[in-house]
Amino acid sequence: MPGRDCLEFRLVRRYHVTTFGCQMNAHDSERIKGMLEELGLGEAPAQDEADLLVFNTCTIREKPDQRFAAHLAQARVLKERDPEKVIAVGGCYAEAQRERLFSLYPYVDVAFGPGSIPHLGEWLGAGGEGVERGAFGIGEERGFAGRLPLQSGSTRVLKAMRRTYSRERYLRLVDELRAAIPDLALTTDLIVGFPGETEAEFEETISAVEEVGYDGAFTFVYSPRQGTEAASMPGQISQEGKRERIERLIEVVQRVAEARNRGRVGRVEEVLVEGPSRTDPSLLRGRTRRNTTVNFAGTAAPGELVPVTVETATSTTLKGTQLAAVAA
């Protein structure tokens, strides 16, 4: 386990967990709390009363969201007042930024991905004997879901939209994320028909969808709003032209997403149960760690995490059978 020098801390007695993001993260935070309490720690009502601060994150972007950044800044202040306070960052952001997290935030002591939660106690010193500062736990491979808006696959159109990134920079980031998180599920936002968008530039968006391999996308037709700079730009696209492009884009998005989902057929997915299926009351509905909806046959209560064998797939959902039900 890579790390810097092992620092001795006083016995950690109280913890505080802050959760960001999805329902799966909330479930993981409950697992973290249960594990810490098994080690003899008690939950503190506030961060400033805790010896151990755990932040369970849900973002894959280069920069943390504002709420998480604010909490980290507060944690830094608390650690400056009490250097023996332990700060742990987990979840998707920690996993995606594991190569540079400790250089970005030198006051963080431990970082861990969702798959390594069962080993968190070891890195926290088995109840307080010591913390290996700078340790990162990788653990077993898990799926992750993230949303990374592209808007357009054309660098020129992105510049016209006043975006600060290029197509090339975006694709490099995708490569870095997939290298760090091999089972990453990516969704995005796409806009067609921005003023001046040529057929070739629209095709760049199509090719970006195919190159990235999105698991889903929110697609939009550009609609001019009075008083905005774009509304007065030359090269406004006709409604017919925009409709034709959005239909082509949706077809490609669905084809790519279905291929991605079909790649899950035959695998066993960890599914967080939400309730009965909306389309078939005899089935249950839940979500995988990659945030894909699954309709499945089984017996489980909402909030449970169950293994499901995937049998069929569409562009938006998976269908299967709970593994325990098969064994029975």
CATH 1.20.1070.10 fits 268-327, yes or no: no
CATH number of 144-262: 3.30.750.200
What are the structural domain ranges in the chain? 6-137, 144-262, 268-327
Measure the CA–CA gap between 177 and 194, rounded to whole angstroms: 28
Per-residue buried b or exposed e for 262-300, using 16+ beta carbons within 10 Å of the residue's own CB: eebeeeebbbbbbeebeeeeebbbbbbbbbbbbbbbbeb
Report yes or no: 13 and 128 within 8 Å, Cβ to Cβ.
Answer: yes
Q: What's the pLDDT at 96?
A: 76
Per-residue pLDDT of the chain (328 residues; tens, 9 = 90+): 333 344 343 445 889 999 987 777 888 888 888 888 877 788 999 999 998 999 998 766 656 678 888 899 999 999 999 988 889 898 878 877 777 788 888 888 888 877 777 767 666 654 445 455 555 554 444 566 777 889 999 999 999 999 989 999 999 989 988 887 788 889 899 999 999 999 999 999 999 999 999 999 999 999 887 777 777 788 899 999 999 999 999 999 999 999 999 999 999 999 999 999 988 999 999 999 888 999 999 999 998 889 999 999 999 999 999 996 544 4
Q: What's the pLDDT at 62?
A: 57
Q: What's the pLDDT at 9?
A: 39
What architecture does CATH give domain 6-137?
3-Layer(aba) Sandwich (3.40)
Q: What's the pLDDT at 328?
A: 42
Q: What's the pLDDT at 94?
A: 81
Tabulate helix, strand, coil % of the chain (nearest 5): 40, 25, 35
Q: What's the pLDDT at 122?
A: 64
Q: What's the pLDDT at 78?
A: 94
Q: Among candidates 291, 294, 287, which has minimal Cα distance to 311?
A: 294
| pTM attached to this predicted model | 0.66
Q: What's the pLDDT at 37?
A: 80
